[in-house]
Structures are given as C-alpha cells and as structure tokens.
Amino acid sequence: MEVYKFGGASVKDAGGIRNITNIITNCKKEGLLIVISAMGKITNRLEELTTAYLFEQDDVQQIFEEIKLFHFNIIQDLFPDSSHPIYDEIVNSFVEIDWLLEEEPTDAPDYIYDQIVSIGEIVSTKIIAAFLKDSGCPAIWLDARNFIHTDNSYKEGQVNWEKTGQDIQKNLVPMLERNIGVTQGFIGSTSENFTTTLGRDGSDYSAAIFCACLNASALTIWKDVPGVLNADPKWFDETERIPQLSYHDAIELAYYGATIIHPKTIKPIQNKNIPLYVRSFIQPEAEGTNITGLKNHLPVPSFIFKVNQALISIFPKDFSFIIEENLSDIFNLFHKHKVKINTMLNSAISFSVSFDYDAKKLDALIADLSQQFKVKYNTGLELVTIRYYNQQTIDRVTINKNILLEVKSRNTCQIVMRDKVAIE
Ligand SMILES: Nc1ncnc2c1ncn2[C@@H]1O[C@H](COP(=O)(O)OP(=O)(O)O)[C@@H](O)[C@H]1O
Ligand SMILES: N[C@@H](CC(=O)OP(=O)(O)O)C(=O)O
C-alpha cells in the first residue's frame, strides 16, 4: 500500500491533470491511495467567497460564478463530450454552496467556512477521478469524510485517531485491493457528519494520516520543485537539493516555516517509520528527496525566510524581572489570541516575541498585554532561520539589514531584521 499526494499547484489546469494522470498510470499500482488538494489557488477564492457571504458583500454571486467557471473551463477541456456525467456531478457539488448562500449567515463563521471551502477538494477529486477512469485507470472516488474523523474544532479539526484508524482499516483497506483510490486532502468530518477542515495547507497532513492508518509502505508528495532544497527557490537564487533528510531535520525545517511540507505531516509517518519521498511532478523520473529515520544531519546549511513579521517587546511596568509568573500570563494571552510564536527571547526585564503579522490579532493582543505590561512593537520585518548555521551564512543573509533580534541554539539561528534603508 502506498499513498501519493498532489497539491493545488500540480492540478492548477487541464494540462496539470493530464500530467498527474501520466504519473499515476505509469506507476499502475494497485493498493495506491491518491490524496489531492483543491485546484490551483481555489481555496483562497473559496475563502474570499466565505468572507463575502459572512459580511453580506455585493460580490458574493460574482465570486461564486468565477469559481464555477474556473472548474467548468477545465472540465470542458478534459471532457469534450458535454453529456459526460461529470458535468452533473460538479453542478451538484456546487449546489451545496448555493443552498448555503440562500440562507442568512447566522451559523458560526468557522462552521460556514468549512462547509464552503471544503468544496474545492470535493470537486477537484471528482474531476480527477473521472479523468483517471476515462484514461483506463481503475480509479474510485472516495469521500475522505468517511475516514478522517475529527472533533468539532471547525477550521482546525483535531483528528480522532482511534476512529479514523478503525474506519481506514475496516473500510478503506478492502477498497484499495483492486483499485486506485482518489480522495481529498484537508477535510474530515465530525461525529455528526459535518465537514471540518484541518487547517490551511493541511493536505500533506491528510496524506500522512491515511499513510499511518493504512500502515503504508511509503508516502510520496509530488511538488513543483526537484525535492526539498536548502532554501525556498522563490527567495534564494542558488539552492541545492537535499537527497536524504532525517525526520528530525524535516520536522525542524517545516516547523520553522519551510512551506514545502506541512509541519504536522512528519509525526504520523515518523511514528510508523514510513519513508516520505518528495518528488517533482515536472520531472517525475528524477530522484527527489527521501525523508527517513536517517541519523546524519543536513549536509548543507538551510535557510527559511518569513516576511511580514511583527516583533513585540514586553516589559513589566515597575522594572521588575521577567519571571515564570509573568511568562505564564504572557503565554496565556498569546494562546487566547491564537498568535503562534515564531521566535522569542527574554532578558532581565523584557520578553520579545516575533510572529506572523495580523492587524486584528496584534491590536487585540497588545490591548490585553498593556493592562499588565509596557509593550513596544514593530511590523514589516523579516525572519530568517538558518539550520546548521555558521558566521558566513549569517553574514550572507544580513547584508544591508538591521538586526532587531538574534536567537541561537546549537544548530539553529533565528534573526529578525529589516532593510537598513527602511529606517533612514
Ligand atoms: N526548502 C524548500 N525546498 C523546496 N521548496 C520549498 C522549500 N521551502 C519552500 N518551498 C516552496 O514550496 C513550494 C511547493 O509547495 P506548495 O506550493 O505549497 O505545493 P502544493 O501545491 O503541493 O501544496 C515550492 O514551489 C517552493 O516555492
Ligand atoms: N487546499 C487547501 C489544502 C492544501 O494543503 O492545499 P495545497 O496542497 O495546495 O497546499 C489549502 O490550500 O490550504
């Protein structure tokens, strides 16, 4: 049993779907489960639609029509016969959104979000399963919500591993014996059968859940890059592919923000010692990266950039020390406002934290912190994390930058900085 995961970038248009069909039909494995995300950037568009509906904006129908048109253009390209049953199937999937939009937005926003946004994965998998079948592949469409069970935390469903494992073993394993299963990433369902999502970019995590519960022999994540590189090629000109990576380094890179793999992906597969292969859907025959229980550490320094960072520094109002009690109050407020800390550093009378900038969260957090502490903040910053750093690598990334915060552990260095010109 093996699991493949294809993300939005691999199925952004009809050409992409033809390409992944070639990859799948060339491997022709029975006992293969394929986990697929929404096409291209459709999740972002469905988020826009949700916001427009919740705030009763005028452009609700226009956004919805554009989303439908995007999918129907792809269907027309893949299935020239307009009487193909896929046309009705997709119309029916979108009707679920139609019904919702007809009502006043009185339900909880996170619940509404999940019911709308999940349709991206439903339609992409229906289209791809139908195309695979027409291409002679023994594909069956499977509803991930019958297997991935979560609690009621909409937008951030927490997996019920016991129930998920039981259903996958009992119901999914037999289905994969003679078929190639096509299912959705990113979505699950509550015990009352309402759809949940697992958090943005959560399809890699879905693939890892399926893999662990199937006791699969491998997970392959197909990307638009040749494998895991030592930096995101969008930010760095010279990158190197890392042929072998340990679970430990992979989870550290993902945790610090390397968007190539969702951070929650590694634990389930590491726990079952399942290898994770990251390969290119553009050059499917190329080697990629193998992530395993290897003991060696990364052969080259790796860089992770995050832009749009906020940095806040928190001081007790009476010049007293930052002690455990203050820290616990501070952490509780970060937790309350759902602000995820990227870096932190404390001194005798200050505690500094960087995190992804979100205007609303920042204002609310500062308002709460200011009741007990003096707070200073900066926005528009960059955070670079270097795993296996040395002075040369630090110098390389800090040219023409002002450093606001630098935190070093034995293997990892994090620097919060901004362009020198920005303050002159
Ligand atoms: N260390 C890294 N190695 C390779 N790619 C990286 C790395 N860090 C970030 N990326 C980015 O991850 C992208 C692939 O992830 P993403 O677009 O989320 O794929 P998907 O559509 O499959 O979810 C690449 O295009 C690349 O810009
Ligand atoms: N479609 C979801 C889930 C996901 O993981 O997508 P992708 O594999 O394209 O990153 C999202 O964009 O958040």
DSSP secondary structure, 306-366, as one string:
EEEEEEEEEEETTS----HHHHHHHHHHHHHTTPPEEEEEE-SS-EEEEEE--HHHHHHHH
321 vs 22: CA distance, rounded Å: 63
Helix pair 324-336, 359-369: axis angle to 10 deg: 150
Pocket of ligand 1 (CB under 6 A): 7-9, 223-225, 228-229, 231-234, 258-260
141 vs 130: CA distance, rounded Å: 8
Residue 315 has pLDDT above 90, yes or no: yes
Supply 10's token pair.
């691999």
Instruction: Flag whether the ipTM exceeds 0.85.
Output: yes
Other Cβ atoms within 10 Å of 416 Cβ, number: 26
Bridge partner residues of 385 (DSSP): 304, 414
Residue 422 has pLDDT above 80, yes or no: no
Mean residue pLDDT of the chain comes to 95
User: Who contacts 248 (Cβ-Cβ below 8 Å, separation ≥6)?
Assistant: 297
Cβ of 289 below 6 Å from ligand 2: no
Ligand (nearest to CA of 233): 1
Cβ of 188 below 6 Å from ligand 2: no
Report which ligand 1 atom has the smallest distance to the Cα of 203: 23
Give me ligand 1 centre to Cα 232, in Å.
Answer: 7
Cβ of 205 below 6 Å from ligand 2: no
Of 100, 89, 97, 168, nearest in space to 124 by CA: 89
- For the segment 210-235, the average pLDDT, to the nearest whole number, is 96
Pocket test for ligand 2, best of 200, 209, 261, 281 (most atoms within 8 A of CB): 200
| Farthest-apart Cα atoms in the chain, separation | 75
Q: Binding-site residues, please?
A: 5-8, 43, 121
Residue closest via CA to ligand 2's atom 11 equals 201
Using pLDDT thresholds of 50, 70 and 90, give the confidence band for residue 273.
Answer: very high
Report which ligand 1 atom has the smallest distance to the Cα of 231: 1
The model's pTM is 0.93
Helix pair 109-117, 86-102: axis angle to 10 deg: 170
Residue 235 has pLDDT above 90, yes or no: no
Report which ligand 1 atom has the smallest distance to the Cα of 9: 21
Supply 40's token pair.
């291209």
100 vs 135: CA distance, rounded Å: 35
Domains along the chain with CATH numbers: 2-216 (3.40.1160.10), 302-423 (3.30.2130.10)
User: What pLDDT does residue 397 have?
Assistant: 93
Give me ligand 1 centre to Cα 350, in Å.
Answer: 36
